[in-house]
Amino acid sequence: MTTVTDAVRTPVPKGAGGIVGSVRDSLVVAKRNLLRMLRIPEMIIFGLIQPIMFVVLFSYVFGGSMNIGGTTEPGVYREFLMAGIFAQTVTFATAGAGAGIADDMHKGLIDRFRSLPMARGAVLTGRTLADLVQTTLTLVVLAVVALLVGWRTHTSVGEVLAGFALLLLLGYAFSWIGALIGLSVRTPEAATSGGLIWLFPVTFVSNAFVDSSQMTPWLQHVADWNPFSATVQACRELFGNPGVSQSEAWPMQHPVWASLLWSLLILVVFRTLAVRKYRSAAA
C-alpha cells in the first residue's frame, strides 16, 4: 500500500493590509523603539548635550564678531543663530536614525520583523516616527536653553508653532535619508560616518550661522538654494528674528513655501527609495 503525504506549506505572513493596518503596525514598531530609548537614557542625554553646547559656544564665542544687519550686538546674533541651531539639531538626528536601523540589521532584528505578518514599510516608518518623538523632546529642551541665553520670538504663538512644525517636517524628511543609508551599509559605525559626511556641507554651506550675502557669489547661490537654508530662513521669518535675506533667489523670497516643498519632496523621494531597498533586501 502506498501512502501519499502532501507537503505542508507554511504560508508567507502578510500584514493586515490597507492604510489602517499599516498605521497600526507602524505605531507598534514606534512604541518598541521608544521603549528602547527609555531603557537606554544615555541615548537621550547625549542627544541633548551636543545642541546645548552649540548654543552656548556659538552664542558667546562668535556672538560679538558677527555682523548681522549692520550690527555686531551679541543679542542680535543670538536671535539670528537660533533658527540655524534648531535646524541643525533636527537634521543631525538623521545620523542616529541610520545607525539605529543599521544596528537592527546587523543584529538580525530586521530579519525577524520580515517574518511577521506586518506591513513592509512599517518597520522603517515606526523607526522614523520614534526618532521624530525624540527630536521633538530635544527641540523643547533646546528652546528652553535658548530662552535662557537671550533668544526671543516677536510674532504670534501660531507663527512660532508653525516654525517648529517646519523644523520637525525637515527632520522627519531627512530621517528617511538616514534610513536609506542604514539599509545600505553593513555596520552601525559606517551608518554614523555616512550620515555625518553629507550633513556637514548641507548645514554649514547655508545661512544657518552666517549671512549668505557675505559669501562668494557661487557659494551664496548654493547656500540660497539649499533646502536647509530655506527652513532656517522660514523660521527666522516666523519667529520674527533678525536676518532678512537680501537675496533674489526664490527660496529666500518665499522661504516658508520653499521649506515646505523641499521637505515634502525629500520625504517622498527618500521614503520611496528606502522602502524599495527594504523590500529588495527581503526578497
Which of the two residues, 62 and 248, has the higher pLDDT score?
248
Q: Which of 206, 205, 184, 209 is nearest to 194 (CA)?
A: 184
Mean pLDDT lowest among 17-21, 121-125, 145-149, 192-196: 17-21
How far is 231 from 227, CA to CA, in rounded Å?
7
Across the range 4-30, mean pLDDT stands at: 62
Greater confidence (169 vs 112) lies with 169
Q: Does pLDDT of 104 surpass 80? A: no
pLDDT at 261: 97
Q: What is the pLDDT of residue 5?
A: 43
User: What integer pLDDT is reported at residue 214 of this predicted model?
Assistant: 83
- CA 179/CA 103 separation, integer angstroms: 11
* pLDDT value of residue 283: 53
Give the pLDDT mean for 45-51.
78
Beta-carbon contacts of 41 under 8 Å, excluding residues fewer than 6 positions away, are: none
Q: What is residue 232's predicted lDDT score, i.e. its pLDDT?
A: 95
Residue predicted with more confidence, 4 or 74? 74
What 8-state DSSP symbol labels residue 210? S
Contact 54, 138 (CB under 8 A): no
* 42 alpha-carbon distance from chain centroid: 20
Residue 10 has pLDDT above 60, yes or no: no
49 vs 229 pLDDT, higher one = 229
pLDDT recorded at residue 74 = 65
Q: Is it the case that residue 3 has pLDDT exceeding 50?
A: no
Cα separation values, 260 from 83, 234, 235, 236, Å: 16, 9, 12, 15
* For residues 241-252, average pLDDT: 86
CA gap 276, 247 in Å, rounded:
38
What does the mean pLDDT of the chain come to? 82
Helix (H, G, I), strand (E, B) or coil at 113: helix
Mean pLDDT (whole number) for 162-171: 96
Q: Structural domain boundaries of the chain?
A: 18-282
Per-residue pLDDT at 6 exceeds 50: no
Grid cell digits, residue 211? 549671512
User: For residue 260, what pLDDT band results from cuts at 50, 70 and 90?
Assistant: very high
The mean per-residue pLDDT over the stretch 199-213 comes to 89
Give Rg (Cα) of the chain: 22
- Dump pLDDT digits (tens) for 56-101: 887 777 666 666 766 667 678 888 889 999 999 999 888 777 877 8
Task: Decide: 211 and 236 in contact? Cβ < 8 Å.
Answer: no
Residue 30: partners with Cβ closer than 8 Å, 6 or more residues away: 125, 126, 127, 129, 130, 133
Q: What is the pTM of this model?
A: 0.85
pLDDT at residue 44 greater than cutoff 80: no
User: Which comes out higher in pLDDT, residue 221 or 42?
Assistant: 221
Q: What nine digits make up the cell of 122?
A: 512599517
Asked if pLDDT for residue 109 goes beyond 70, the answer is no
pLDDT at 78: 84
Predicted pLDDT at 161: 96
Contact between 281 and 113 (Cβ < 8 Å): no
